Structure 1
């Protein structure tokens, strides 16, 4: 089994990181992956500080192996009333199908500053981030409590930005990845734009995993690179490692494990999806994210550029998505999944990790 400085540093038997799937992960999933020799992750972007502490404690009750926690780097928005009203009116017909009326939520998102303090207090083996970038001071605070800091990049410029603030490793997230794109820089710029990246910035940052990993490895030879996007089996892991990655991050592959937190409708959609059934959309959350095409995605296709940015749209559709999940209707759910979704293998997480290890060993022989 190949070993690398990053996996040795983290004490991992395998170069496999479970993607931090906010809203779909569970402490049980993270603990199972870690116990099996990989690195389990908690997606904490939508967890309150108290919920973060509780989830971390639960993982530690289940395993003494290292695990990680992920946060969304974001400011609390202050959208104007006209924007919110237009978004609510746009969503009203979809809410009506469940006998509901869309309302302005109590909060748009969790406070990142409070979440960051909870992360420092939790002291996970890995602290990873997406949607934005930390300051060098914040990176140093996490490193001081023993956490390895991993930043998500969708371009080489973003990877360089993370290296510049002292990140220990960079996760190169290709366009094949399921869920939200982590883009935070405009192409050709060194600082995040005011108000966040534009739709055009996201489009320009849609690089494939193989291309992005190659570019990041070449640009940052002393920074460990983690490959993410479209990797579903041992051959995919071997391919990423051959390009210079020191580990892979796999999210979609673990979604159909019984330990994941998704409901029956989402689970069924994953197992029935074909190779070309995903696309990137803003309509559910306001930030481009890859998922399985469904009725709501098609119906709001013309509004891609009109919906308010994350986290506003995400909060406005939250009650709708919860109602759809309770009703067992996948047509109104955000069915986040990567381009490799047709290769999902429903099985317990520990069993899947073992199969991946066998496949990697065979591919590396």
Structure 2
């Protein structure tokens, strides 16, 4: 499968971007996808600068093909003790089930937005593509990345967000349909009723944007890729479908969930991190309300939830785990990411 617009944009053989999935994959998946002719991605939001550089060097040693580095660019919000007292009170019955109490760990939410220190570290490595989630960093940082010759991509979940990103000079826009797993890239609103299905969103964007559009969300098979390209997308971005691959680092319980009927029921929730994200539905999502007004701001809600997840996992449970998954897990296969990319591209 060759799409000339996608090839010019991404520099790879197939118009397929492997979605960056923080905590679920590393450089080995990115290498496998890039070597198969897609665009492999490295999620950098939860990596230290040292680990980030190490992973990028592994990618450059493992492939001579283009790759993508992905960063969050949220505005950091200070830890709020009052918010956490309310949140901990809400979660106290769950901790009591394990005979434990929640701990206040203000510095433990390790999601650092893109900044000049990160730029200093990766500039010598000349990444071919750099993508952002939750908008864009400061214009000075965007121009700095573009000065390296890197293509700049960012996610939009609405037409309004896409128009804003285009006005800021991005090279392409990732249209993240509401079907997508993991965190929503929304940044101009926190109202989840604004979120749009993939085909509706791509259709809206290609009618008004001058920059290429990349479709993302619920894509699991070759025919869906063909449909999006026929609609006018330059490429697609695929995440959930790669989660059972050999290179995936998700837990065995997460793998089991993806292969069970549970994967047919996903929902947007803020209880795991403080931002809307799509997960397989579990007990804590149902009992706290999927979008809880008590959840502290991103990423601080994860502090207590990570503690509960750890306690529950000792008993083999997934009641408090963020089982990120899009609305279509039917393409997941326990094969190499290289083989999966070839199958997605060729049918």
Q: TM-score range by the shorter chain?
A: over 0.9
Is 2:55 the counterpart of 1:58? no
> Which region of structure 1 is more displaced relative to structure 2, 258-267 or 275-284?
275-284
Partner of 1:265 in structure 2? 253
Q: For the residues of structure 1 that align with 2:208 and 2:326, how far apart are their CA atoms? A: 26
Q: Deviations over 1:272-323 (max 9, x none)?
A: 1356311111111111111111112112127612211211102332233344
Q: Deviations over 1:125-166 (max 9, x none)?
A: 111111132333222211111211001100111111111111
TM-score (norm 2): 0.93
Which of 347, 350, 359 lines up with 2:338 in the alignment? 350
Q: Structure 1: any 5+ residue segments left out of the alignment?
A: 187-196, 360-365
Partner of 2:193 in structure 1? 203
Whether the 8 Å contact between 2:136 and 2:142 is mirrored in structure 1 is no
- State the shift of 1:99 in Å: 4.9
Q: Deviations over 1:215-247 (max 9, x none)?
A: 111111x30110000100001100111111111
Say which SS state the counterpart of residue 82 (structure 1) adopts: helix
Which of 135, 138, 144 lines up with 1:135 in the alignment? 138
Partner of 1:89 in structure 2? 89
Partner of 1:191 in structure 2? none
**Number of aligned residues:** 344
Whether the 8 Å contact between 1:68 and 1:127 is mirrored in structure 2 is yes
Is 2:24 the counterpart of 1:24? yes
Say which SS state the counterpart of residue 13 (structure 1) adopts: coil
Is 2:333 the counterpart of 1:333? no
> Which region of structure 1 is more displaced relative to structure 2, 266-275 or 93-102?
93-102
Whether the 8 Å contact between 2:241 and 2:330 is mirrored in structure 1 is no
Which of 148, 151, 165 lines up with 1:148 in the alignment? 151
Q: Would the alpha carbon gap of residues 303 and 123 (structure 1) be closer, same or farther in structure 2, given more than 3 Å must change? A: same
Q: For the residues of structure 1 that align with 2:100 and 2:335, how far apart are their CA atoms? A: 36
Q: Would the alpha carbon gap of residues 5 and 325 (structure 1) be closer, same or farther in structure 2, given more than 3 Å must change? A: farther
Q: For the residues of structure 2 that align with 1:298 and 1:39, how far apart are their CA atoms? A: 36
> Which region of structure 1 is more displaced relative to structure 2, 1-10 or 74-83?
1-10
Partner of 2:72 in structure 1? 72
Q: Would the alpha carbon gap of residues 51 and 156 (structure 1) be closer, same or farther in structure 2, given more than 3 Å must change? A: same
Partner of 1:219 in structure 2? 208
Q: Would the alpha carbon gap of residues 124 and 95 (structure 1) be closer, same or farther in structure 2, given more than 3 Å must change? A: farther
Q: Structure 2: any 5+ residue segments left out of the alignment?
A: none
Whether the 8 Å contact between 2:276 and 2:291 is mirrored in structure 1 is no
Whether the 8 Å contact between 1:274 and 1:342 is mirrored in structure 2 is no
Q: Deviations over 1:64-96 (max 9, x none)?
A: 221111111122212432111111222233344
Partner of 1:193 in structure 2? none
TM-score (norm 1): 0.88
Partner of 1:12 in structure 2? 12
Q: For the residues of structure 2 that align with 1:279 and 1:250, how far apart are their CA atoms? A: 18
Partner of 2:219 in structure 1? 231
Say which SS state the counterpart of residue 341 (structure 1) adopts: coil
Q: For the residues of structure 1 that align with 2:281 and 2:104, how far apart are their CA atoms? A: 26
- State the shift of 1:48 in Å: 1.7
Q: Deviations over 1:103-146 (max 9, x none)?
A: 12241344422344444454321111111323332222111112
CA RMSD of aligned residues (A): 1.9
